Structure 1
Amino acid sequence: MNPSTAGARVLLDELVRLGVRELVLCPGSRSAPLAYAAHDLDAAGRLRLHVRVDERSAAFLALGLAKTSRRPAAVVTTSGTAVANLHPAVLEAHHGAVPLLLLTADRPPELRGVGANQATVQPGVFGDTVRLALELETPADPDRQAPAWRTAAARAVAAATGALGGAGTAGPVHLDLPYRDPLAPGALAVDPHPALAGRPDDAPWVTLPAPPAVLDGAAAPLAHDPRTLVVVGELPTAEHRAAALAWADHHGAHVIAEPGPGTSRLVLPHGDLLLAATDWVGEHLPSRVVVVGRPTLGRAVPALTRTPGLRVEVVTSGEPGADGWADAAHTAAAVHPFAALRTDGEGQAPTPFAREWLAAGEAVAAALAPTGDHLDGPAVARAAHEAVPDGAALFLGSSSVARDLGHGVARVRDAVEVVTSRGLAGIDGCVSTAVGLALSRSGPTVAVLGDLTFLHDANGLLVGPDEPRPDLTIVVVDDDGGSIFTTLEYGADELAGPMRRLFTTPTGTDIEVLCAAHGVPATTATSAEQLSALVARPSEGIRVVRVPVDGAARREAGRLARETVVAALGGRD
Structure 2
Amino acid sequence: MSELPVPASIFTAVSVLDSLVRIGMRHVVVSPGSRSAPLVYAVAALEEAGVVQTYVRTDERTAGFTALGLAKSLNEPVGIIVTSGTAVGNLMPAVMEADHQGLPLVVLSADRPPRLRGTGANQTTNQVNFFGSHVRATVDLTAYPEESTGEQTVGFNECLAALTGRDAHVWGNASGTPAGPVQVNCAFDTPLTPNDAAEQILPQWAQSLKEVERPASVIAADPTVEPWLGSDHLPAEGYRTVVVAGDGAGAIAAEFAQKLGLPLFAEPSSNALFSANAICAYREVLSESLGQQIERAVVFGHPTLSRPISALLDNADVEKAIYEPAPVAWYAPGRRSEKPYKYIADLARFAGSGHGVSVVGSEQSWLSAWVQAGESRRIEHQQNIDRYRESGENSGRAAALALVQDAWNACREDGASLVVGSSNIIRDLDLGVVSRATSPRVYANRGLAGIDGTIATAIGISLAGESGKERGASKPQKVRLIVGDLTFLHDASSLNIGPLETKPDVEIIVLNDHGGGIFGTLEHGKLGKKPVYKNAVQRYFTTPVDVDLEALARAYASSGISVKIVNV
TM-score, structure 2 normalization: 0.82
Provide the residue aligned with 1:64 in structure 2. Answer: 69
Q: Is the 8 A contact 1:27 1:52 kept in 2?
A: yes
1:249 maps to which residue?
258
Pick one of 541, 544, 548 that aligns with 1:503.
541
Q: Which residue of 1 is the match for residue 401 of structure 2?
A: 378
Deviations 1:427-452 (A, max 9, x none): 01001000001111324210001111
| Distance 1:180-1:519 versus aligned 2 partners, 3 A rule | same
- Residue 129 (structure 1) aligns with: 134
Asked whether the equivalents of residues 98 and 181 of structure 2 are also in contact (C-alpha less than 8 Å), the reply is yes
- Whether the aligned pair in 1 keeps the contact of 2:81 and 2:107 (CA below 8 Å) is yes
The corresponding residue for 2:332 is: 324
User: How far did residue 273 of structure 1 move?
Assistant: 2.0
* Runs (5+) with no aligned partner, structure 2: 1-5, 167-172, 229-233, 357-364, 393-397, 467-476
Name which of 268, 272, 276 aligns with 2:283.
Answer: 272
Q: Does 1:337 align with 2:345?
A: no
Match of 2:460 in 1: 436
Q: 1:384 to 1:520 in 2, by over 3 A?
A: farther
Correspondent of 1:177 among 159, 179, 186: 186
Q: Summarize the Cα distance change of 1:286–1:103 in structure 2 as closer, same or farther, 3 Å threshold.
A: same
Aligned equivalent of 1:425: 449
For 1:457 and 1:143, how far apart are their aligned partners in 2? Answer: 41
Cα displacement (A) at 1:281: 2.8
* Separation in structure 1 between the aligned mates of residue 449 and residue 323 of structure 2, nearest angstrom: 21
Matched AA of 2:277: L
Aligned to 2:492: 458
317-326 or 510-519, which moves further after superposition?
A: 317-326
Q: 1:484 aligns with which of 488, 502, 518?
A: 518
Q: Indicate the residue corresponding to 2:474 in structure 1.
A: none
Number of equivalences: 511
SS at structure 2 position matched to 1:13: helix
AA matched with 1:215: D
Which is worse superposed, 76-85 or 145-154? 145-154
Q: 2:267: which partner in 1?
A: 258
Aligned equivalent of 2:291, options 261, 271, 281: 281
2:322 pairs with 1:314: yes
Q: 1:398 corresponds to which residue?
A: 422
Provide the rounded CA distance (Å) in 2 between the counterparts of 1:319 and 1:270. Answer: 30
- State how far apart, in whole Å, the 1-side matches of 2:210 and 2:535 are: 69
Unaligned runs of 5+ in 1: 522-540, 550-573
Aligned-pair CA distance for 1:191: 12
Q: CA deviation at 1:97?
A: 1.3
Question: Match of 1:281, as an amino acid?
Answer: G
Structure 1 residue 458: deviation in Å?
A: 1.1
Evaluate the alpha carbon distance shift between residue 296 and residue 458 of structure 1 in structure 2; reply closer, same or farther with a 3 A threshold. same
* Matched AA of 2:281: H
Q: 1:462/1:149 Cα in 2 relative to 1: closer, same or farther (>3 Å)?
A: farther
For residues 208 and 498 of structure 2, the distance between their equivalents in structure 1, rounded to whole angstroms, comes to: 36
Q: 1:392 to 1:385 in 2, by over 3 A?
A: same
Asked if structure 1 preserves the Cα contact closer than 8 Å seen for 2:323 and 2:347, the reply is no
1:543 aligns with 2:562: yes
CA distance in 2, matches of 1:444, 1:190: 38
Q: What secondary structure sits across from 1:376 in the alignment?
A: helix
**Deviation of the 1:320 alpha carbon:** 2.9
Q: Deviations over 1:269-316 (max 9, x none)?
A: 121122232x3433xx12111122322112111223344532222334
- Secondary structure at 1:40 match in 2: helix
One-letter code of the match for 2:557?
A: G
Structure 2 vs 1, CA of residues 336 and 520 (structure 1 numbering), >3 Å: closer, same or farther? same
Question: Residues of 1 paired with 2:99 and 2:483: CA distance?
Answer: 22
* 1:120 maps onto 2:125 in alignment: yes
TM-score by length of 1: 0.81
Residue pair 2:46, 2:52 contacting (<8 A) in 1 also: yes
- SS of structure 2 residue aligned to 1:103: strand
CA distance in 2, matches of 1:148, 1:21: 27
Superposition deviation, residue 321 in structure 1: 2.9
Q: Report the equivalent of 1:159.
A: 162
Confirm or deny: 8 A CA contact 1:2 1:187 kept in the other structure: no
In 2 relative to 1, CA 158–242 (structure 1 residues): closer, same or farther, beyond 3 Å?
farther
Separation of aligned partners in 1, 2:185 and 2:546: 41
**Aligned partner of residue 68 in structure 1, secondary structure:** helix
Give the deviation of 1:123 after TM superposition: 1.5
Q: Distance in 2 between matches of 1:26 and 1:190?
A: 23
Partner of 1:559 in structure 2? Answer: none
**1:361 paired to 2:380:** no
Residues 139 and 156, structure 2, Cα contact 8 Å, conserved in 1: no
Q: Quickly say closer, same or farther: Cα 1:167–1:265, change in 2 above 3 A.
A: farther
The CA distance in 1 between the partners of 2:176 and 2:457, in whole Å, is 20
Task: Give the superposition deviation at 1:497.
Answer: 2.3
Q: How does 1:78-97 map to 2 (within 5 A)?
A: 78-97=83-102
Q: 2-side partners of 1:544 and 1:473: how far apart?
A: 6
Question: What amino acid maps onto 1:336 in structure 2?
Answer: Y
1:35 to 40, 52, 64: 40
Provide the rounded CA distance (Å) in 1 between the counterparts of 2:483 and 2:209.
Answer: 47
Supply the distance in 2 between the matched residues of 1:461 and 1:516 (Cα, whole angstroms): 10
Q: Percent identity?
A: 37
Contact 1:293 1:326 in 2 (8 A): no
Instruction: State which drifts further: 36-45 or 167-176.
Output: 167-176
192, 212, 219: which is aligned to 1:212?
219
Corresponding position of 2:502: 468
Q: Spell out the pairing of 1:43-62 with structure 2 (5 A cutoff).
A: 43-62=48-67
C-alpha separation between the residues in 2 aligned to 1:34 and 1:190?
14
When residues 250 and 413 of structure 1 are mapped into structure 2, their CA distance, relative to the original with a 3 A threshold, is closer
Equivalent of 2:17, from 12, 23, 32? 12
